[in-house]
Amino acid sequence: MRMLRHVLSVLLVLAAAASWAQGITLRVKDLGKVQGWRENVLVGTGIVTGLAGTGDAPGNRATRQALSNVLSQFNLTVPPEQVNSRNVAVVMVSAALPAFAREGDTLDVTVASSGDARSLVGGNLLLTPMRAPDGRIYALAQGALSVGGHRYDANGNVVQKNHPTAAAIPNGATVEVSMPPPSAQARSHVTFVLAEPDYTTASRVVAAINSQLGAGLARARDAAGIEIEVPAALQAEPVSFLARLENVAVEPDRRARVVINERTGTVVSGGDVRLSRVAISHGDLKITISSLNSVSQPTFVERTGPGVATAVVTNTELAVEEPTGVGFLAGGGTVADLVQSLARMKTSTRDIISILRAVKAAGALHGELVVQ
């Protein structure tokens, strides 16, 4: 699990540092999306049953009220104050509704405990309506929970793996209401939005669309939005035009960016991020304090006075080391050159991060420094 988390953190840093790849031809669909195409968040409150004594405490008022409301729908009148069970838990249920969801489609559901339940292992989510921000119910969730962890305790001993109070239900929700069309104006024109706004890339996308689909169809409104006119002959069939639009080849521009993740010690940089002439001196003060306890015991003494006794003597040794490395970079060097030089000097990743931040503060790193 630790290795998986490290790999995921590296992938996230790579995604943040990618920007646009210079010299690589990409499709328009890889650079952004059509305005209006987005996922919608659904959320609901439900009850998980079937827990083996690991649910919410019997004194949890929200759990007792929720279970009493559920039972009342089946003609069972049980006052909340009489509900006493540790086999149920109140949870929050969430899911993402795609832009082109249709009735009958299934969604992956995430379930998280909102009470004091110890574990959701073995639980089953009861039918839960899921609402959008407009208050309308778009999906219904239900099913057995898949928990990627566990928690067992006995006699004061606890064994826990991952987070047993969070779970998932693959395909656990069914869409009940179709989403409206993402763009009502798609018959006459569409707006393409770049994932990372950039004037140079927007200009290149406009030039590529006008040269490959027809002159005068596209124009850039700003660094992110590109307005594209749908030809009159294709307005009755916008899907075919959008398919051709997505596959237009573009050579995007690139940004100079260095991304640092201080939690994992990951550094990702474009190979051509430039550095001005700079001198770097980095020292590491190391202080070692060691203590040795010894016992002083009088020997060959049969009879001692009242003030004579065994004494414990502590000898303390203090050592200070301050290794210092100095490196010089000529003008026109890159971050990649600096990192390689520091790696040959066996500099730790944490020290490399500190050096890069100091070089940026000195104004010698010509690019964006992103610290996560």
Give the model confidence (pLDDT) of 9-64 as tens digits: 544 444 444 444 445 788 888 888 888 788 889 999 999 999 988 888 888 888 88
pLDDT at 13: 43
The full set of domain ranges for the chain reads 1-19+255-292+314-372, 21-37+183-250, 40-175
For residue 338, pLDDT over 70 is answered with yes
Q: What is the pLDDT of residue 21?
A: 46
Summary mean pLDDT of the chain = 79
Between helices 335-344 and 349-361, what is the axis angle to 10°?
140
Q: Tell me, what's the pLDDT at 198? A: 87
Residue 154 binned pLDDT confidence (cut-offs 50, 70, 90): low
Range among 12-26, 125-139, 328-342 rated most confident: 125-139
**How many other CB atoms are found less than 10 A from the CB of residue 148?**
13
Torsion angles phi and psi, residue 337, rounded to 5: -60, -45
Q: State yes or no: pLDDT of 107 exceeds 60.
A: yes
Average pLDDT for 112-128 = 90
Class of domain 21-37+183-250: alpha beta
Of 306 and 170, the one with more pLDDT: 170
Residue type, 27: R
Higher-scoring residue by pLDDT: 145, 237:
145
* % the chain with pLDDT above 70: 74
What per-residue confidence (pLDDT) applies to 327? 57
Helix residue ranges per DSSP H, the chain: 2-18, 61-72, 199-212, 238-246, 335-344, 349-361
Q: Which of 75-79, 196-200, 246-250, 291-295 has the lowest mean pLDDT?
A: 291-295
Report pTM: 0.62
Angle at 275 between CA 270 and CA 277, to 5 degrees: 160
